[in-house]
Amino acid sequence: MMPFSDEDLYIAASNYLPTLEEYVKSHQGTMKPLGVKDGVVYIELGGACNGCSMSTMTTKMLVEKKLRELIHPEVVVESIFPGQEDTLPEGMYKE
């Protein structure tokens, strides 16, 4: 069980994501936090990451793995591409 509220998790993830974004930028991609719902952090991968077959690996093996180390071992990260915002869950916390 996640011991953080969605708001707390969003704030923590938003603070750490810029340190991970350097890798994404090195591949001409972009990354931004979209929100959190029930312990799942939603990010948007854009630029060269948009539609890239390796974007799932970037999400899980880089972003999720690092946020699990830095915040909590049960953090889940899901990515969407620009234009897919309608797939986000209702009621998620976002700024």
**pLDDT tens digits, the chain, 95 residues: what are they?**
788 999 999 999 999 999 998 889 999 999 999 999 999 999 999 999 988 889 999 999 999 999 999 999 999 999 998 888 899 999 999 98
pTM of the model: 0.93
Domain chopping of the chain, boundaries: 6-84
CATH superfamily of 6-84: Fe-S cluster assembly (FSCA) (3.30.300.130)
CA torsion angle 21 22 25 26 (round to 10): -150
Q: What is the pLDDT of residue 8?
A: 96
Name residues whose C-beta falls within 8 Å of residue 48's C-beta, 6 or more positions apart in sequence. 27, 28, 29
